[in-house]
């Protein structure tokens, strides 16, 4: 039985084992998928041990994505561009290949919700690893402009300069943001603490699409706030979670699972349906 798992800290809440078990059943692949929560300074050793003991691949989540980037033998073009790795595969010739499926997962989920990215004006909140992993796939959809807003504007500026060769991207302080935007993506972890990014309510209008990468059984604080300001289309990151997992599964097994039924089962598991 081929072994896969997800590394994170904390990681006990992860739905990845649930998702990949359903993918395996659907595609008739023989594999088992578990959880690993090494100490903050123990990831490198845990990763090495996992593959030495016969592991075939893994997902990597907070806070280990940048460490994973430095520990693999080879990087896919999208992982190299993102500067972070969330998927690792042991290839047939014994090479640890690092990939990043976050951005592909986000774009696939946005399209599944009918959001038009081409020609739209996008506001991306946050400049951490989650934002970094999504910039290239978002810019590949040819928006009219992508604005990065972050509490530390210098960090947003650095990120924008790294990706400006891919399309019209720039950094802006929260207080200087000017609408209208067609889509606002919250890549910050503010929702996990019950906080909100310092966004002016005037940026929310009835036709805007709101996306929070965080998710839960109830609306995240950001989605709840956006609804209160009049936003009609709001989405959390549950679909992105499933879509990026399908992308990772494809990297590992060479077969793409369907996501719609798995997303329905996941919502049922979380008590959303």
Is residue 102 a known part of a binding site? Answer: yes
Is residue 228 a known part of a binding site? Answer: no
Is residue 86 a known part of a binding site? Answer: yes
Is residue 8 a known part of a binding site? Answer: no
Residue 260: half-sphere exposure toward Cβ, Cα within 13 Å: 2
Q: What is the DSSP letter of 270?
A: H
Is residue 240 a known part of a binding site? Answer: no
SS3 for 21?
helix
The Cα 247–Cα 10 span in angstroms is 23
SS3 for 24?
helix
Is residue 89 a known part of a binding site? Answer: no
Is residue 152 a known part of a binding site? Answer: yes
Cα torsion through 266, 197, 111, 60, rounded to 10: -50
**Catalytic (active site) residue 65:** yes
Q: Active-site residue among 56, 65, 89, 260?
A: 65
Which two tokens mark 137?
A: 């796939």
Is residue 237 a known part of a binding site? Answer: yes
Listed in order, strand segments (DSSP E) in the chain are: 2-7, 31-36, 57-60, 74-75, 87-90, 96-99, 121-125, 145-149, 169-172, 183-186, 209-212, 233-235
Is residue 232 a known part of a binding site? Answer: no
Is residue 127 a known part of a binding site? Answer: yes
Q: Which residues are catalytic?
A: 65
Binding residues: 14-16, 61, 86, 102, 126-130, 150-155, 213, 215, 237, 244
Binding residues for shikimate: 14-16, 61, 86, 102, 215, 244
Binding residues for NADP(+): 126-130, 150-155, 213, 237
């Amino acid at each position: 039985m081929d072994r896969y798992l997800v590394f994170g800290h904390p990681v006990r809440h992860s739905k990845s084992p649930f998702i990949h078990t359903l993918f395996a059943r659907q595609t008739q692949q023989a594999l088992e998928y578990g959880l690993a929560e090494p100490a903050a300074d123990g990831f490198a050793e845990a990763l090495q041990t996992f593959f030495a003991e016969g592991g075939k691949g893994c997902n990597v989540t907070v806070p280990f994505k940048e460490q994973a980037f430095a520990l693999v033998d080879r990087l896919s073009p999208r992982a190299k561009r993102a500067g972070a790795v969330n998927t690792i595969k042991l290839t047939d010739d014994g090479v640890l290949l690092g990939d990043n499926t976050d951005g592909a997962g986000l774009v696939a989920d946005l399209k599944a919700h009918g959001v038009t990215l081409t020609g739209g004006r996008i506001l991306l909140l946050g400049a951490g690893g989650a934002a970094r992993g999504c910039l290239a796939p978002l810019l590949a959809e040819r928006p009219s402009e992508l604005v990065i807003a972050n509490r530390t504007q210098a960090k947003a500026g650095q990120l924008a300069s790294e990706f400006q060769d891919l399309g019209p991207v720039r950094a802006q302080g929260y207080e200087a943001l000017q609408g209208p935007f067609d889509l606002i993506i919250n890549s910050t972890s503010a929702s996990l603490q019950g906080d909100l990014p310092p966004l002016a309510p005037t940026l929310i209008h009835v036709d805007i699409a709101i996306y929070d990468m965080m998710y839960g059984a109830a609306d995240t604080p950001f989605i709840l706030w956006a609804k209160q300001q009049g936003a009609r289309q709001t989405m959390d990151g549950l679909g992105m979670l499933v879509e990026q997992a399908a992308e990772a599964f494809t990297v590992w097994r060479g077969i793409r699972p369907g996501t719609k039924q798995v997303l329905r089962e996941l919502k049922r598991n979380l008590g959303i349906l």
